[in-house]
Amino acid sequence: MRRADPALWLLRAVVALFILFMLAPILVVVALSFTSAGYVVFPLPGLSLRWFARMLDYAPFLQGLRVSLQVALGATLLSVLLGVPASLALARSHHPAALAAMTFLLSPLSMPMIVFGFAALFFLSRIGLGLSLPALLVAHGCVCLPYVVRVTAAAYRGLPPALEEAAEVLGASRAAVLRHVVLPLLRPAIAAGSLFSFLVSFDNLPLSFFFGSPGTNTLPVVMLSYVEQQFDPAIAAISTAQLAVAVLLLVLADRFYGLGRLVGQEGGG
């Protein structure tokens, strides 16, 4: 019988504590959403679904959720349509202009989002987009773009050029190579970038904050305004619902694609 390695047990304990440390705040929020109390108190005096009823009763929550889903989908689509071609064009080039363009595309990651949102509000207002859903989509698209570009470009760099050369030698046109060789091989990377984009947009507050209008208020903006005035467990209920959307997405991604492929643990294609 093998003796237990103390170092291994210590490592396991540290990992378990780390996971608990990361999950505990989320678990507390989920638990609070089921409280029967009228204010935030822990431990729970009783269980109730009243705060989920309140969530459904307060129309701005549901409107905000709908807008958030629309914006996240639209921004993800926009960033894929722009990011994938840009990645294919720039990833393997060593030309200084290509490196500069790639840095430019990734630059929103290095900028505080509140600054980006403030600047985008003035810029998009100046060119006539003002406070509108297209303006919100453009702003979110800019922030989502680096996630698609980064993941797709890295995957494309790792793809042996010989695969494309072989297809061309066998008579495939550039379009056919792209459609039948490159894009299928990049599909896991594009899917992973899209998932990151969606989640980044769905949770975004600093950008959406500046573009709120009666028709374009996203859920995080509504939640912030609500919690500033009324700190009841309804905010925990809507947070739980928001979490459920994210988990559902991951489950769907796993069901239709496999999370292992998304994170690169299994072969793509």
Residues that bind other proteins (CB under 8 A): 37-42, 58, 60, 67, 69-71, 73-74, 77, 118, 121-122, 125-126, 128-135, 137, 209-210, 212-217, 221-222, 224-232, 252, 256
The residue among 145 and 177 lying less far from other proteins, judged by its C-beta, is 145
The residue among 136 and 167 lying less far from other proteins, judged by its C-beta, is 136
Query: Least distance to other proteins from the beta carbon of 90, Å?
Result: 27
Query: Least distance to other proteins from the beta carbon of 231, Å?
Result: 4
Query: Least distance to other proteins from the beta carbon of 65, Å?
Result: 11
CA distances from residue 237 to 52, 62, 86, 228 in whole angstroms, order as listed? 6, 12, 40, 16
Residue with tokens 């200084």: 96
Query: Least distance to other proteins from the beta carbon of 33, Å?
Result: 15
Other beta carbons within 10 Å of 228: 8
Query: Least distance to other proteins from the beta carbon of 131, Å?
Result: 4
The residue among 103 and 230 lying less far from other proteins, judged by its C-beta, is 230
d(CA 11, CA 172): 52
Q: Are 29 and 238 in contact (CB under 8 A)?
A: no
The residue among 177 and 262 lying less far from other proteins, judged by its C-beta, is 262
The residues, ordered by sequence, that sit 6+ positions from 157 with a Cβ below 8 Å of its Cβ are 91, 92
Q: What are phi and psi of 120, to 5 degrees?
A: -65, -35
Residues in the chain: 269
The residue among 127 and 170 lying less far from other proteins, judged by its C-beta, is 127
Three-class HEC string of 198-212:
HHHHHCCCHHHHHCC
Which residues on neighbouring strands pair with residue 86, listed in sequence order? none
